[in-house]
C-alpha cells in the first residue's frame, strides 16, 4: 500500500472519530430536554450534524454516525438488541436523506429555493421517517413503550429529528463557508449587533409570555436576518429561536404552560417548523435573486462590449471601411 493511500485512510479514520465525538456530544445536549423515556426529544441536534457531515465529507464517514449513535443509546436502550436496531435506524435515516438529496442535485450552498425545498421535504420530512418508525417500533416491541404511546412517541421522535435537520444542518453548512468580513463597515457591524439583540429580546418575550400570539414576534427578526444577511444570518437566528422555544417547552413555561405533552408538541413544532421554513426558504430566495441580478449585470456588460465592438467608427471593427485613424 502506498504512502498516499495510508495517509488517506488515516485521514478518513480521524474524520470518522471526529464525527462520532461531535454526534455524541450533541446527543448529550439534546437529551437534557428529553420528553419520552429519557431518549426522545423535541429537537435532536445529532441528526442535523450527521446529515451535514455526509453532505460535506461524503458517505465515508457513516461509521462515525453509527459509533456516535451506539455510544449514545447503549446506556439508555431497553435491551442490547433494541439498542442495535435503534442505532441502525438512526444511522440509516441521515444516509437515506443524503442519498435522496444527492440524487436530486442538492447544493450545500443553499443558494437556490430548490435546495431549501429539497432539504425540507427530502432531508427532514422524508428521511427522518426511518429513525422515528424504527425507534418507536423497537421500544414498543421490547415492552419499554405502551402500545397506546406509540404515536405520541413517534410524532415527537420524527419532529425532533426533522427539526434537527431543519435548524442544525443549515447552520453547519453556513458555518463551514463563513469567513471574517474584513471589508464590512461599522454600520454593517452595528446592524449585526442590533439584529442579535432584537432576536434575543423577541424570542425571550415570545417564549416567556403566556400568550401564544406573541410567538409571531420572532418572524420580523427572521425576515430581517434573511434579507440583510441571507443564510449567514438566518440560520443562526433560527437555531437560537428553536433552542429557546424547546427550553421553554421543557420547563412548561410561557405559551407551553398548562398543556399536556401532545398539545405542547403541536405548539412547539408548529412554531419551530415555521421559523425554520421562513429563515431557510427566504434566505434561499434572496440568494437566488441576488445571483440572478449579478448574472443579468454580467450579461449586460458582455452585450455592451459586443455593441462597442461592432460600431462603425470603432477602429477595432474588422468591417470598418476607414480603418484605424492615424
Which of 54-68, 140-154, 256-270 shows the lowest mean pLDDT across its residues? 256-270
Per-residue model confidence as pLDDT tens digits over 154-190:
888 898 899 999 999 999 999 888 777 777 788 988 9
Least confident of 67-71, 100-104, 253-257: 253-257
Task: Return the C-alpha cell found at 129.
Answer: 421517517
Which pLDDT belongs to residue 164?
92
Give the integer Cα–Cα distance in Å for 17 and 30. Answer: 20
Question: Do residues 142 and 82 make contact, with C-beta atoms less than 8 angstroms apart?
Answer: yes
The half-sphere exposure of 237 on its side-chain side, counting CA atoms within 13 A, is: 37
Model confidence at 84: pLDDT above 50: yes
Q: Who's near 22: CB < 8 A, 6+ residues apart?
A: 49, 53, 68
Question: Residue 281 and residue 285: Cα distance in Å, rounded?
Answer: 6
Confirm if 82 and 74 have CB atoms less than 8 A apart.
no
Determine the Cα–Cα distance for residues 117 and 244; give it in Å rounded to an integer: 25
| Fold of the CATH domain 1-177 | Arp2/3 complex 21 kDa subunit ARPC3 (1.10.1760)
Question: How confident is the model over 100-121, as pLDDT tens digits?
Answer: 999 999 999 888 889 999 999 9
Can you tell me the distance from the alpha carbon of 54 to that of 16, in angstroms, rounded to the nearest whole number? 11
As annotated, the residues of the chain forming the CATH 1.10.1760 domain(s) are 1-177
Lowest-pLDDT choice from 14-23, 34-43, 49-58, 259-268 = 34-43
Q: DSSP string of 156-183?
A: HHHHHHHHHHHHHHHHHHHHHH----TT
pLDDT value of residue 326? 43
Q: Number of helices (H) and strands (E), helices first, in the chain?
A: 10, 0
Assigned C-alpha cell, 214: 406573541
Tens digit of pLDDT for each residue in 125-151?
A: 999 999 999 999 999 998 888 888 888
218-244 residue pLDDT tens: 999 999 999 999 898 999 999 999 989
H or E element: which one contains 4? helix 3-31
The whole-number pLDDT of residue 138 equals 93
Tell me the average pLDDT across 44-62: 95
Partner residues linked to 114 by β-bridges: none
Maximum mean pLDDT: which of 28-32, 91-95, 172-176, 272-276: 91-95
Q: pLDDT at residue 8 above 80?
A: no
Average pLDDT, rounded, for the chain: 87
pLDDT over 90 percentage in the chain? 49
Amino acid at each position: 500500500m502506498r504512502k498516499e493511500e495510508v495517509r488517506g485512510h488515516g485521514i478518513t479514520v480521524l474524520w470518522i472519530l471526529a464525527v462520532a465525538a461531535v454526534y455524541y456530544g450533541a446527543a448529550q445536549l439534546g437529551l437534557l430536554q428529553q420528553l419520552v423515556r429519557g431518549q426522545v426529544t423535541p429537537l435532536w441536534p445529532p441528526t442535523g450534524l450527521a446529515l451535514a457531515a455526509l453532505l460535506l465529507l461524503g458517505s465515508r464517514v457513516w461509521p462515525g454516525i453509527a459509533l456516535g449513535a451506539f455510544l449514545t443509546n447503549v446506556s439508555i436502550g431497553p435491551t442490547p438488541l433494541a439498542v442495535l436496531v435503534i442505532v441502525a435506524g438512526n444511522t440509516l435515516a441521515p444516509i437515506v436523506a443524503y442519498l435522496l438529496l444527492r440524487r436530486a442535485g442538492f447544493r450545500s450552498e443553499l443558494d437556490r429555493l430548490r435546495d431549501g425545498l429539497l432539504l425540507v421535504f427530502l432531508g427532514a420530512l422524508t428521511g427522518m421517517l426511518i429513525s422515528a418508525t424504527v425507534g418507536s417500533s423497537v421500544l414498543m416491541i421490547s415492552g419499554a413503550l405502551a402500545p397506546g404511546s406509540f404515536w405520541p412517541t413517534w410524532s415527537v421522535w420524527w419532529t425532533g429529528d426533522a427539526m434537527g435537520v431543519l435548524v442544525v444542518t443549515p447552520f453547519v453548512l453556513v458555518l463551514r463557508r463563513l469567513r471574517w468580513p474584513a471589508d464590512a463597515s461599522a454600520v454593517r457591524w452595528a446592524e449585526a449587533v442590533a439584529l442579535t439583540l432584537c432576536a434575543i429580546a423577541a424570542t425571550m418575550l415570545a417564549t416567556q409570555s403566556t400568550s401564544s400570539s406573541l410567538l409571531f414576534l420572532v418572524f420580523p427578526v427572521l425576515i430581517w436576518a434573511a434579507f440583510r444577511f441571507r443564510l449567514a444570518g438566518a440560520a443562526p437566528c433560527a437555531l437560537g429561536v428553536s433552542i429557546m422555544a424547546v427550553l421553554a417547552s421543557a420547563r412548561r413555561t410561557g405559551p407551553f404552560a398548562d398543556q399536556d405533552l401532545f398539545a405542547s408538541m403541536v405548539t412547539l413544532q408548529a412554531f419551530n417548523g415555521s421559523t425554520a421554513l421562513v429563515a431557510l426558504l427566504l434566505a434561499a430566495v434572496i440568494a437566488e435573486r441576488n445571483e440572478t441580478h449579478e448574472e443579468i449585470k454580467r450579461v449586460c456588460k458582455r452585450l455592451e462590449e459586443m455593441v462597442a465592438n461592432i460600431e462603425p467608427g470603432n477602429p477595432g471593427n474588422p468591417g470598418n471601411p476607414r480603418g484605424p485613424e492615424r
